[in-house]
Structure formats: C-alpha cells, structure tokens
Amino acid sequence: MTVTKTVTETVTETVTKPVTKTVTLPRLNRLSPSLESTALKIMEESGELAQAIGKLRGLSGEQRPLEETEVMQLVARELVDVAQTAVTMMFVLEEQYGIDLENILREHMAKLRSKGYCD
C-alpha cells in the first residue's frame, strides 16, 4: 500500500527586498597600489573571508566553536575588506590604465539583465 500526502501552502505575506546594494568606499590615502599588489591583496582578503566562513562550519580546528552571530560579524567584516580592496583596484584601473569603469559597470548590468539575473 502506497500512501501519498499533498501539502498546499499559501503565502499571504509579501516581503519587499531591496533589489540593489549601494556601497560607497573611499580611495585610500598613503598607498601606491599597483595592479599586481592589489590583485594579491584581493586574494589575501578573500582567504581571510574563507577562513571566517570555515569558522562557522567548524573547519578551523578550534576547540571552542564560535557562536553563529559572532562568526557572521567576522564574515561581514572580511567581506567589506574584500570590497574595499576591489574598489582600490578600480581606482588603479581608472588612474593608471585609463579604464572607464562607468562604462564597464553599465556593460556588467546589461550582461546581468540579459541573463535574467536582475531587472
């Protein structure tokens, strides 16, 4: 005998989520970054982000696991470090190589729209 169960769920609450996230980060003072040094810094900061995520998953080998809220704060801080370094590389591309980042960002948004990732 086979028993099947059908569950029908009606969601009556509508949640409005932001469709973009705007982050404003500064051009850093007292640095002379190059394309190579900035790329290496992005990799370093990405490694620190991965390490923070590993703490959440218990992959760090620590005896005392951190609380989830504590780890999420660390993950968020490391993510902002990655973003700051990416912004620094954007300044390098504009200032040292004459790249038009506004145009690149428009092209990027068009690519996302064409793939259906955003409106």
Query: What pLDDT digit, counting tens, does each position of 16-69 carry?
Result: 666 788 899 999 999 999 999 999 999 999 999 999 888 777 776 766 667 888
Asked if residue 92 belongs to a domain, the reply is yes
- Our count of domains for the chain comes to 1
Asked if residue 108 belongs to a domain, the reply is yes
In whole angstroms, what is the distance from residue 114 CA to residue 119 CA?
Answer: 9
Domain extent for 54: 35-114
Handedness of CA 94, 25, 49, 113 (dihedral sign): negative
Asked if residue 13 belongs to a domain, the reply is no
Asked if residue 103 belongs to a domain, the reply is yes
Rounded percentage of the chain residues whose pLDDT exceeds 70: 81
Backbone angles phi, psi at 20, to 5 degrees: -140, 160
- pTM for this predicted structure: 0.78
